[in-house]
Structure 1
Amino acid sequence: MKAIWNNEIIASSDNTVVVEGNHYFPPASLTMQYFKPSDKHTVCPWKGTASYYDVEVNGKANKDAAWFYPDTKSAADNIKGYVAFWRGVDVVEG
């Protein structure tokens, strides 16, 4: 799977984990130069507290376009630290 935004591959992995229709990418599969920590946090009752990244590619920013769970509840241990995308980031096979 590949995550693409602003014509750049920002993550690529053969080992994503699908939860609730979202592909979660292993942390090592991200091209970290495109990710900036965000102050946003949300809470999922069964996964825990999510943290977010802004995605910045070629001078364009996509605020809070990626999220992850740094400390999961036990039911979501399989995605601890893994990153998922929304807000116009295309996740495609490839």
Structure 2
Amino acid sequence: MKPIKHLYLHFQDGQRLALRFPQQTADPVEIARGLRRQLESPFLSIEVDGDLLLIPRESIKYMQISPAPPTLPEATLTGAELIN
């Protein structure tokens, strides 16, 4: 069974969308490529329950992927903690 990942999309208007999905690949190189492709696209594309969601990138304030993928984008600051 593939590990389950969580994606939280926080939108510019304050709404939040929470999704869970199986790990797409175990290959760190493929993970990095897929993440790069999604970040370069004007739309975030996600298949949900047989439907395709195309979410305009400009509507997204930030994304949270949990747990973090083993391969992170270049120049990622690591070891940070959220504080209030």
Question: Which structure: greater helix fraction?
Answer: 2
Decide: shared fold, TM above 0.5.
no
Please identify the structure whose Cα radius of gyration is greater: 2
Task: Give the TM-score, by structure 2 length.
Answer: 0.28
Task: Give the TM-score, by structure 1 length.
Answer: 0.26
RCO higher in structure (CA 8 A, sep ≥6): 2
